[in-house]
């Protein structure tokens, strides 16, 4: 059906050009909301009617007449109907729907993958400061970032996964002083405990290992503790390495990897921050006011200009070089580095609290005079996650050290549940992670519902093999035998997969794949309930098993995009509902 759809899109484009020469309207099909309306729907007549200043149904009639003259329509379409104000519905011939089975089996693990080389893309995500364990917000961001990278790779892009973190500054200084306080025998709440210190028990773990003189290895660094409670710089370096290692382990548990780690300190060490400031000053987009240096971000759509360098405090406690840059200045420098590294497209996955930084960072990189285009970089912002367990919300309190961590979620529910659940809603919507639901082994649990479809198919194909069936012959099946309504519905779902991936990649929306998986699993479970597969009619059995094999392949491919496993065997507590 992939070939049929492509030929029909070309036919629709030709028909649009015939009805409205020169029309700037791309040919596109939609899936009808009701199966009775056909297999494909087209809204072109409604769109053309506005420019042609004609009744939409009149335009639809002309469009249908033009379509009927197209060879592809004559080959693949059984009937064309006009519905409502001017929708054109196409009902495909059985052969058009059946062809997708062979296309999936031929494509295998690459079915749905776009041909050709795409752009080089840098995706930055997680980017957590090494001051504590990763929390649920980082978890959602890790799942989103990794799935978006997978989507882009499936569209041919060359993707670099990057983790940016602050290895200096106030938060790191607070981390070092917190560990040092523990090393000196202090505990949270006791006299002498620093007011701004981190109170979590992980600080005690860091202190114990530092005192023992241990060596820690993280993905980008290693450090051996001196064991000296007065060695504050050594404490800082050890604590950063220790927590970077903990973050690495968390991300490994989630199945997330990175190609590159970028340190904020390198921006200062390499002179990148000063270079960015120089560029901005030379561009004429800065000005001095009240002793501070400002950037005219309003020239680029921001609601007000932003301070780049604060005025020196009255006591003269300025930085050693006489400057105090605000936090968005190194962000601008970092994104200029991204552009200089050849990434014409960069995507940042961040929490919703970063919304205010978008305009000023984009303004800064444009004002630097390096030819960075407007809208660089792209952003995907996600909202908070609420965790429910035992019917109660698990309170998040980072200062108290009692917040839910990434490792907690994985330990409670497993990697697959965490990844699927975190990707099951749009990033910009609030999300409730229900631990109890994630543990259910029935149709109420969406990831179980989808994975169980895959396991069910594996079971049937295993039975076929035990009875002497040869899976290699399934590609030779007579697909014309697949005429049942549930078979037609399932094949249409399979054919949607490449377009779902393309749309999800374009919209940076992996939740579209999660939605698709639930729909595909539903179509399969309905088929499983309505038909038998290991029937005496060998040709019919082979055709149905070929459809099952194709469905298994698409389920596996779609789950892989989300980073979720496709188990071949699963047990269940209650029957899965047999409705789509």
Q: Give the residue-averaged pLDDT of 160-178.
A: 92
pLDDT surpassing 70 at residue 396 = no
The span from the CA of 183 to the CA of 209, in Å, is 10
CATH topology of domain 270-381: Rossmann fold (3.40.50)
* Contact in structure between 259 and 162 (CB atoms under 8 Å): yes
pLDDT surpassing 70 at residue 505 = yes
β-sheet bridge partners, residue 288: 293
Q: Give the residue-averaged pLDDT of 226-245.
A: 96
pLDDT surpassing 50 at residue 60 = yes
The span from the CA of 441 to the CA of 317, in Å, is 61
The span from the CA of 72 to the CA of 55, in Å, is 27
pLDDT digits (tens, 9 = 90+) for 241-263: 999 999 999 999 999 999 999 99
Q: Give the residue-averaged pLDDT of 156-163.
A: 97
How is residue 555 written in tokens?
A: 């389920």
Taking the CA atoms of 435, 441, 445 and 450 in sequence, report the sign of the dihedral they define.
positive
pLDDT digits (tens, 9 = 90+) for 515-551: 999 999 999 999 999 999 999 999 999 999 999 999 9
CA R_g for the chain: 29
The span from the CA of 47 to the CA of 548, in Å, is 39
Query: What pLDDT sits at residue 399?
Result: 40
How is residue 374 written in tokens?
A: 């407007």
Residue carrying the six token digits 């047990």: 571
Instruction: Tell me the H-state helices in 217-271.
Output: 232-254, 264-269
β-sheet bridge partners, residue 347: 123, 378
Query: What pLDDT sits at residue 574?
Result: 56
How confident is residue 347, by pLDDT bands cut at 50, 70 and 90? Answer: very high
pLDDT surpassing 80 at residue 183 = yes
How is residue 404 written in tokens?
A: 């839910």
Q: By C-alpha distance, which of 412, 232, 552, 124 is closest to 421? A: 412
Q: What is residue 470's three-state secondary structure?
A: coil
Please tell me the least confidently modeled range out of 115-119, 344-348, 443-447. 115-119
Percentage with pLDDT > 70 across the chain? 95
Provide CATH code, domain 446-562: 1.10.730.10
How is residue 478 written in tokens?
A: 């007579």
Q: Give the residue-averaged pLDDT of 163-181.
A: 92
The span from the CA of 295 to the CA of 285, in Å, is 6
* Contact in structure between 1 and 103 (CB atoms under 8 Å): yes
The span from the CA of 363 to the CA of 369, in Å, is 11
Residue carrying the six token digits 């269940």: 572
Phi, psi angles (nearest 5°) of residue 502: -65, -45
Taking the CA atoms of 41, 44, 49 and 54 in sequence, report the sign of the dihedral they define.
negative
The span from the CA of 274 to the CA of 125, in Å, is 25
Q: What is residue 188's three-state secondary structure?
A: coil
Structural domain boundaries of the chain?
A: 2-92, 270-381, 446-562
The span from the CA of 162 to the CA of 259, in Å, is 6
pLDDT digits (tens, 9 = 90+) for 399-440: 446 688 999 999 999 999 999 999 999 999 999 999 999 999
pLDDT surpassing 50 at residue 320 = no
How is residue 505 written in tokens?
A: 């990649």
pLDDT surpassing 60 at residue 503 = yes
* Contact in structure between 363 and 300 (CB atoms under 8 Å): yes
Provide CATH code, domain 2-92: 3.30.1360.70
pLDDT surpassing 60 at residue 470 = yes
The per-residue pLDDT of the chain, averaged, comes to: 92
Which helix (H) or strand (E) element contains residue 256?
none
**Which residues contact residue 310 at a Cβ distance below 8 angstroms, ignoring those fewer than 6 apart?**
292, 324, 325, 326
Query: What pLDDT sits at residue 83?
Result: 92
Look at strands 87-92 and 77-83 and give their pairing. antiparallel
The span from the CA of 408 to the CA of 387, in Å, is 11
More confident site: 36 or 527:
527
């Amino acid at each position: 059906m992939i070939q049929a759809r492509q030929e029909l899109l070309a036919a629709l484009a030709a028909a649009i050009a015939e009805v409205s020469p020169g029309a700037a309207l791309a040919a596109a099909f939609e899936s009808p909301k009701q199966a009775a309306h056909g297999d494909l729907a087209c809204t072109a007549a409604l769109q053309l009617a506005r420019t042609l200043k004609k009744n939409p149904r009149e335009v639809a009639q002309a469009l249908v007449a033009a379509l009927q003259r197209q060879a592809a329509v004559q080959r693949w379409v059984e009937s064309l109907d006009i519905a409502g104000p001017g929708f054109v519905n196409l009902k495909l011939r059985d052969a058009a729907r059946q062809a997708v089975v062979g296309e999936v089996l031929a494509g295998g693990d690459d079915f749905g993958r776009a041909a050709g080389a795409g752009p080089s893309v840098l995706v930055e995500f997680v980017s957590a400061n090494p001051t504590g364990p990763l929390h649920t917000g980082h978890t959602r961001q890790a799942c989103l970032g990794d799935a978006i990278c997978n989507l882009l790779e499936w569209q041919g892009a060359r993707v670099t996964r990057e983790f940016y973190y602050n290895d200096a500054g106030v938060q790191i200084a607070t981390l070092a002083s917190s560990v040092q306080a523990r090393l000196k025998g202090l505990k949270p709440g006791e006299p002498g405990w620093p007011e701004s210190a981190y109170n979590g028990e992980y600080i005690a773990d860091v202190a114990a290992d530092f005192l023992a003189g241990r060596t820690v290895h993280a993905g980008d660094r290693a450090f051996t503790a001196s064991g000296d409670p007065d060695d504050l710089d050594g404490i800082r370096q050890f604590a950063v390495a220790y927590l970077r290692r903990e973050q690495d382990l968390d991300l490994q548990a989630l199945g997330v990897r990175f190609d590159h780690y970028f340190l904020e300190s390198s921006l200062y060490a390499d002179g990148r921050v000063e270079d960015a400031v120089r560029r901005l000053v030379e561009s004429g987009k800065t000005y001095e006011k009240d002793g501070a240096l400002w950037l005219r971000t309003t020239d680029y759509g921001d609601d007000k200009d932003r301070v780049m360098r604060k005025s020196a405090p009255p006591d003269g406690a300025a930085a050693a070089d006489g400057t105090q840059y605000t936090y968005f200045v190194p962000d601008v420098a970092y994104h200029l580095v991204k552009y200089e590294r050849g990434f014409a497209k960069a995507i940042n996955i961040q929490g919703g609290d970063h919304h205010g930084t978008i305009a000023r960072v984009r303004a800064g990189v444009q004002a630097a005079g390096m030819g960075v285009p407007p809208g660089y970089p792209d952003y995907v912002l996600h909202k908070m996650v609420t965790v429910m367990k035992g019917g109660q919300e698990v309170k998040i309190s980072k200062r108290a050290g009692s917040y839910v961590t990434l490792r907690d979620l994985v330990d409670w529910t497993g990697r697959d549940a965490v990844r699927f659940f975190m990707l099951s809603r749009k990033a910009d919507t609030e999300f409730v992670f229900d631990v109890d639901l994630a543990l259910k082994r029935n149709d109420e649990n969406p990831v179980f519902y989808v994975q169980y479809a895959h396991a069910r198919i594996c079971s049937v194909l295993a039975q076929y093999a035990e009875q002497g069936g040869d899976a290699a012959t399934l590609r030779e099946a007579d697909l014309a035998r697949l005429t049942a309504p549930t078979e037609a519905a399932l094949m249409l779902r399979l054919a949607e997969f490449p377009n779902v991936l393309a749309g999800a990649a374009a919209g940076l929306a992996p939740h579209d794949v999660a939605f698709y998986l639930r729909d595909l699993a539903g179509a399969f479970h309905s088929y499983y309930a309505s038909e038998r597969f290991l029937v005496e009619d060998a040709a019919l059995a082979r055709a149905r098993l070929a459809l099952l094999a194709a469905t298994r392949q698409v389920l596996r491919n779609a789950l892989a995009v989300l980073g979720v496993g496709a188990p071949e065997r699963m047990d269940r507590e209650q029957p899965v509902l047999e409705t789509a």
